[in-house]
Amino acid sequence: MMVSSQWHPSLQYLHAPLVESHGSLISTVFNKAIAPVESIHALLIMIMWPIPRGSLKDDPSWMYSGLLLNAGMQIGLHRAALVGEDPEPDYDERVEASSVTKTLTWLSCFNNNVM
């Protein structure tokens, strides 16, 4: 919503308040392990369409990409294509995703980290 409201003609008024609350909301994500694939997807969107900052040094996208790469490795996304099954089936918080979704998510994490 925050990303798309910036360019939407009738929803632009929402952008500034959403950006203001973004900092406190995003900090709760990083206070625990990033486990569900959906959380990784949400943060990938924020990396691909970041909030405009005054300078590049103020843009946290590079930090997010490193965190996502490590989170993806922690939940085994880098092994999904090789094994073809969930490498850690006992992990309670993981939302089961298809092997294709896991592979594409890993490729996206890796691609955003090396660029």
**Are residues 36 and 95 in contact, defined by beta-carbon separation less than 8 angstroms?**
yes
% of the chain exceeding 90 in pLDDT: 2
In this predicted structure, the answer to whether residue 29 has a pLDDT above a threshold of 80 is: no
Confidence (pLDDT) at 67: 87
pLDDT tens digits, one per residue of 57-101? 888 888 888 888 898 888 888 886 554 455 555 444 444 678 888
Distances (CA, A) of 47 to 9, 17, 44, 83, 110: 23, 20, 5, 28, 12
Q: Does the global pTM surpass 0.95?
A: no
